[in-house]
């Protein structure tokens, strides 16, 4: 009887072939005709000529997203100063490689300098003043890349898991319509760009209801919104496949595109919030919180591969309304999970390892592209 290669053996063989220098298959090619596949590009990566991550991106991705370099704090650090260098390089890189370029992100409560909400006297701005500041920023940033950046995460993370609005300076000073205004300003600046609402934990029913209401409110107001971004910072065992399936279906039912915008699978323990402060000090706690400093055990590597495989098979089942899957980074060394919620851990969340080699999870994703349904 022909011995069937076990999945592990097959994935290991594929990894060895990769290390032997054979070009790994391309994710973008594997999923061509179903959805775009891409990744977040870091500032250091794009600012380094011939960075190995860019070589991986060239071969693997047909869409890219800036991880940080187009956030307000990075691109507009002071009232009268914009820093375009990294963003210009990213857009040039995307154009040179025929990629769909995503702009991330215009209005967010994080990585937005404090001065944005204050006058020169340090006092809070009023509604009209902050709207003008928001309009000026959006017109400057979206306008600079008009016709070059294809879609924008206009507003990021405005809703809490229970569906209530996130209380941010944007909402407190302008009012609830700050969201409509942000989309309106982005559309004014580039009438052809796609416009998205982007958020995490989108599988929570309360958040799903609230985001659905938001999308309907924008559409009823005649505001352009093309898609909902499901960040998908997921784990080995959450959300369930059923929750993920229902989430994509619910957002697709709104008549907008669904995009997976920041996919990664965290294998590290999610320490109890009360422990965080102690973990750095109590070595034995650190062992528990940072178990894979010396690499991922085969058993966990296989669980990660299986999880990525089942998730991409799910995405294929939604390919008629799922337009893009973006991984939140190229390699494990880049992942934000190395520093959140505890700084200095060793994460293994992505498809390429710290030597930019494809992991078993990468081969599992490639295999999922041709699995019969």
Residue reference for tokens 């300003």:
185
Give how many residues touch ligand G3I by CB under 6 A: 9
Q: Select the residue interacting with ligand G3I from 262, 331, 332, 353 (CB under 6 A).
A: 262
* Residue 152 φ then ψ, to 5°: -125, 135
231 interacts with ligand G3I by CB under 6 A: yes
Q: Select the residue interacting with ligand G3I from 110, 126, 213, 240 (CB under 6 A).
A: 110
Q: Which of 198, 179, 178 is nearest to 256 (CA)?
A: 198
Q: Output 213 or 339, the one with its CB closest to ligand G3I.
A: 339
157 given a catalytic annotation: yes
Q: Which of 67, 180, 194, 262 is catalytic?
A: 262
Q: Output 100 or 200, the one with its CB closest to ligand G3I.
A: 200
Residue reference for tokens 């898609």:
227
Q: Which of 235, 234, 229 is nearest to 261 (CA)?
A: 229
262 given a catalytic annotation: yes
- DSSP state, residue 165: B
Radius of gyration over alpha carbons of the chain, in Å? 21
- DSSP state, residue 6: P
Nearest residue to the partner ligand G3I, using Cβ: 336
Q: Which of 339, 202, 369 is nearest to 266 (CA)?
A: 339
Please tell me whether the peptide bond between 60 and the residue prior to it is cis, using omega within 30 degrees of 0. Answer: no
Rounded to the nearest 10 degrees, what angle do helices 178-189 and 127-144 cross at? 30
Longest CA–CA span in the chain (Å) reads 81
Q: Which of 67, 157, 180, 194 is catalytic?
A: 157
196 interacts with ligand G3I by CB under 6 A: no
180 interacts with ligand G3I by CB under 6 A: no
Q: Compose the 114-153 pattern: x for residues touching ligand G3I by CB under 6 A, - for all others.
A: ----------------------------------------
Subset of 273-302 contacting ligand G3I (CB under 6 A) = none
Mapping DSSP to helix (H, G, I), strand (E, B) and coil, where does residue 103 land? strand
Q: Output 65 or 301, the one with its CB closest to ligand G3I.
A: 65
326 interacts with ligand G3I by CB under 6 A: no
Q: Which residues bind ligand G3I (CB under 6 A)?
A: 67-68, 110-111, 156, 200, 231, 262, 336
Any idea which residues carry the catalytic annotation?
A: 157, 262
């Amino acid at each position: 009887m022909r011995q069937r290669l076990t999945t592990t053996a097959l994935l290991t063989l594929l990894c060895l072939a990769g290390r032997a220098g054979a070009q790994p298959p391309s994710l973008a090619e594997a999923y061509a005709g179903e959805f775009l596949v891409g990744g977040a590009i870091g500032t250091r990566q794009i600012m380094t000529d011939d960075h190995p991550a860019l070589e991986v991106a060239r071969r693997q991705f047909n869409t890219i997203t800036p991880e940080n370099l187009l956030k307000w704090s990075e691109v507009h650090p002071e009232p009268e100063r914009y820093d375009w260098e990294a963003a210009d390089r990213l857009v040039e890189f995307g154009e040179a490689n025929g990629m769909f370029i995503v702009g991330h992100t215009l209005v967010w409560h994080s990585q937005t300098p404090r001065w944005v909400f204050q006058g020169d006297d340090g006092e809070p701005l009023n509604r009209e003043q902050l709207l003008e500041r928001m309009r000026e920023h959006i017109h400057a940033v979206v306008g600079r890349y008009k016709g070059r950046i294809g879609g924008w995460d206009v507003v990021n993370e405005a809703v809490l898991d229970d569906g209530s609005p996130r209380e941010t300076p944007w909402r407190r000073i302008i009012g609830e319509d700050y969201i409509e205004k942000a989309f309106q300003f982005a559309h004014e600046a580039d009438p052809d760009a796609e416009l998205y609402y982007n958020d995490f934990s989108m599988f929570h029913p309360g958040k799903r209801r609230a985001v659905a209401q938001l999308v309907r409110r924008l559409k009823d107001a005649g505001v352009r919104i093309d898609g909902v971004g499901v960040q998908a910072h997921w784990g080995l065992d959450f959300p369930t496949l059923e929750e993920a399936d229902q989430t994509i279906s619910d957002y697709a039912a709104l008549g907008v595109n669904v995009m997976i915008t920041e996919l990664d699978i965290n294998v590290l323990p999610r320490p109890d919030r009360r422990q965080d402060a102690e973990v750095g000090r109590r070595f034995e706690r650190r062992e528990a919180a940072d178990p894979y400093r010396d690499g991922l055990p085969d058993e966990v590597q296989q669980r990660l591969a299986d999880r990525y495989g089942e998730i991409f098979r799910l995405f294929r089942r939604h390919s008629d309304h799922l337009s893009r899957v973006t991984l939140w980074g190229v390699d494990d060394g880049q992942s934000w999970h190395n520093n959140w919620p505890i700084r200095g851990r060793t994460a293994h969340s992505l498809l390429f390892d710290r030597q930019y080699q494809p992991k078993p999870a990468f081969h599992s994703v490639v295999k999922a592209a041709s699995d019969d349904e």
